[in-house]
Amino acid sequence: MRVSAGLPTGMEGLTYPIPFSDPENVIRIAQAAEKFGYDSVWGNDHMTTQHYVRAEFPTPPRFWEPLVTYAFVLSQTAKIKVGTGILVLPMRRDIVVAAKQIVTLDHFGKGRLELGVGIGAYREEFDALQPGSRLSRGDIVDEGMQALQLLFTQRVASFDGRFYKFRDVELWPKPFQKRLPVYVGGNNPNNIRRAVDWGDGWLPAGMHVERLRTNVKMLREMAEQAKRDWRTIEVCPQFVVHLGRTHQQAVESFRNSQMNKHLVSLAQSTFKGQGKAQHEDVNLIGTPAEVIDKANAFREAGVTHLLGLYFAANSVQELLDQMQLFAEEVMPKLK
């Protein structure tokens, strides 16, 4: 099972206090992840500050554009891969430009790029960029994934959709990787369908192990109906991590973190309809032994990649300490 770490490209104020994500620390965290043996680092894509963050912090957070950020990260690391968790396609209205940026980064990083795409957690961000729009973000993602697939594989591509249109585009070179991995983010079953139809993996977040097990079964059934080998589709959930000497200490530290407030803010979007399970029960929060048991339960439920684990911390040093502790105490028991 692969294990990756979250990178705070767009999480200042959301999951981490302000200040937190200056360029030096973003690079420092990526380099530490490489040193500790993580497979990759995954960052978020935000264009404007969320309402609840504005209400809490008088200073606006720094949200870095992930693809540009990764150009610097790849130049300052040697082996670790980078991933977008997720690139919000409805905020990327020129799909040809986005494809060109992705391919360029894949080449300059010698194939160390993985791509997560989705609708985005906050409708308010889309409304800020597209005021008055009544467009379905899910429909935009459907078209965007099809358009990217054409641009990545066809010598000359054309597309005439409702949201994306281009004609006679020769996007060259193609991705450095023979097949650039594309994962679909989101807990809604529609994203499982998208992963089966056009992707290489499904990227949910904070999902209870029993619901995840049920959805993995759904994914495999959809794949069989589509005449596709389900083993070619990765199951890559994101979780919050916080390790403590005791269960109670870990839970209390998590509840006092900005990360907890972020998860609460997602109740009407990402986590809508997920029942009354406590976040500390669903996520990898507890002693190292407890977290090992939880992670192995997810592996047995069908998880192939713990993708972009976000470590609850109120300082960069605490984040680095948590990353190192997880790498030393938990990761060896998962592989």
DSSP 270-291: TTTT-TT--HHHHTEEE-HHHH
pLDDT value at position 268?
A: 66
The pLDDT assigned to 283 comes to 97
Q: For the chain (length 335 residues), average pLDDT per consecutive 10?
A: 97 95 98 98 96 94 98 98 97 96 98 97 94 93 98 98 97 98 97 98 96 98 98 98 98 94 80 73 97 98 97 97 98 90
| DSSP state for residue 12 in the 8-state scheme | B
Domains of the chain: 2-333 (3.20.20.30)
Q: How many CB atoms are closer than 10 A to CB 321? A: 14
The pLDDT of residue 274 is 62
Q: How far apart, in Å, are the Cα atoms of 42 and each of 3, 38, 213, 302?
A: 11, 11, 24, 21
In this prediction, residue 276 carries a pLDDT of: 62
Cα–Cα distance between 173 and 137 in angstroms, integer?
Answer: 29
Which residue(s) pair with 2 in the sheet?
Answer: 305
pLDDT at 266: 83
pTM of structure: 0.95
What's the confidence (pLDDT) of residue 134?
Answer: 87
Number of C-beta neighbours around residue 81 at 10 A: 22
Phi/psi for 219 (5° steps) reads: -60, -45
